[in-house]
Amino acid sequence: MDKEVLENHKIYLERKKLYQSFGYDVEKERDFILAQAKPLYGKILEAGTGKGHFALALAKAGYCFVTFDISADEQRFAKLNIAHFGFQKQVDFRIENGERTSFSEGSFDIVFSVNVLHHLRNPYQVLDELIRLISQNGKLILADFTEEGFKIMNKIHALEGNAHEVGKTKLIDAESYLRGKCFLVRSIQSMYQQVLIASKDLNKINDYFNC
């Protein structure tokens, strides 16, 4: 196996171990999000690849999907880790700006965005773009850290000499926004992750042409 792939995977394992030392099991939390989102069907998109923890969970579960990120450097880590497991054929990596992507309207049945919301400078613009991409019978799955999850992330970033920057928009704000856009929203959480499952309320859409 390629040396760079092996070295990258070693970094992945070390980081996973670091999370675990604070009580956060990366694989367990990603599997929790995936379980809440089921059933999954049709074309799947992940908005915000990051270092690829959720992309790996999707690939391990046997799904084929598109994943995009604005940062090629971040996504490179994910690409190398996907290569380590031999899942390259399942994952279509793209570089896109979440505020305005190149994908056509309604082109995905399932759209995931995991632990991205708190990083966004223009969260509602990104939400509008993700809404645009969802098919008529599709659903949007947003996940972010709970208060306990953010505490752990803050500790890890502090240990590494960084500050964990968090925006003002939270999942509860996104939930209200989606309901205002004629979505039915279900909220579930573990100790460390909160998950929103949003699907279009077709009755409201038929009643309100502006949705």
Q: Is 110 helix (H, G, I), strand (E, B) or coil?
A: strand
d(CA 57, CA 51): 12
pLDDT tens profile 109-147 = 999 999 999 999 999 999 999 999 999 999 999 999 999
Residues 55-82, mean pLDDT to the nearest whole number: 96
Q: Average per-residue pLDDT in the chain?
A: 93
- Give the span between the Cα atoms of 95 and 48, in whole angstroms: 10
pLDDT tens for each residue of 152-181: 999 998 988 887 888 889 999 999 999 999
Domain boundaries 3-207, CATH class: alpha beta
3-class secondary structure, 67 = strand
**0.85 surpassed by pTM:** yes
In terms of Cβ atoms closer than 10 Å to its own Cβ (0-12, 13-18, 19+), residue 131 is buried
What's the average model confidence in pLDDT over 82-105? 97
> 88-100: b or e for each residue (b if 16 or more CB lie within 10 Å)?
eebbebeebebbe
Averaged pLDDT for residues 178-196:
96
Can you tell me the distance from the alpha carbon of 142 to that of 45, in angstroms, rounded to the nearest whole number?
A: 12
Q: Which of 118, 116, 142 is nearest to 199 (CA)?
A: 142
What are the residue ranges spanned by the domains of the chain? 3-207
Give, as one character, the DSSP assignment of residue 185. Answer: E
